Amino acid sequence: MPRHVACVMDGNGRWAQRRSLPRTAGHQAAESAVIDVVEAARTAGVRWLTLYAFSTENWNRPGTEVDHLMRLVRRAVRRHAPLLLARGIRCRFLGAADPRVPPELAQDFDDLTALTSGNRGMTLTIAFDHGGRRDIVAAARSLIRSGTPADEVTERLFADHLPFPDMPDVDLVIRTSGEQRISNFMLWHVAYAEWVFPEVLWPDFRAPDFLACLHTYRRRDRRFGGVPPRTNGERS
């Protein structure tokens, strides 16, 4: 079972387009998939789940779509806070640093983080206004400000200056809709992740699809740059 699973929730716009609906309808339909996947991950025993909800590049989308998405996210956070608390899920938000994030939404993020901070079940991280490169630059700046000599910088020390230093590396990334891009997502943490690209669009992604991705992961041979062990029938 992967310890840390991350989902790039892709395909909302195409889901709406295929139904001759506005793109905002796709974002609205995505909420059901989020709750289904959270429940499926928790039940399956996944300890860390990260969902890519909004990237630093998504600010380039039409203002009306961005505003609608902000309202949807705020409504979803408030609606599902009691469920997340009851399920023992700890919630955190990765990013949300841009001043264009509405103050009331940023406050809702802080409130949910505080509300669930004592939970000891699965950790759910919402990557919102997130950019992998930005996080790496911020970590480098933090190291420089700390006065750490260059020859003392190690991967472990560098990781300690990233947001949420306790977050383990990602084992499995699921990107829906068949697209095969990293999209500036958690670049440090996905260095050795396995990737799965189901064709299903995110609003149609449900627990059986998520479990199928876990099954695919469990069939992978993770070698981390090494070679597979020889069986008794193989010659050296």
Which residues are known catalytic residues?
10, 58
Nearest to 161 by CA among 142, 174, 189, 133: 142
H or E segment to which residue 123 belongs: strand 123-130
Structure tokens that stand for 195 in this block: 């990737």
Q: How far apart are CA 133 and CA 124, in angstroms?
A: 21
Q: How far apart are CA 199 and CA 152, in angstroms?
A: 44
- The packing angle between helices 207-218 and 23-44, to 10°, is 60
The 3-state DSSP class for residue 189 equals coil
Using CA atoms of 76, 174, 222, 182 in order, give the dihedral in degrees to the nearest 10.
-100
For the chain, the distance separating the N- and C-terminal CA atoms, rounded to the nearest angstrom, is: 31
Which one-letter amino acid corresponds to residue 116?
T
Annotate 148-188 with DSSP letters as a single string.
--GGG--HHHHHHTSSSTTPPPPSEEEEGGG----TT-STT
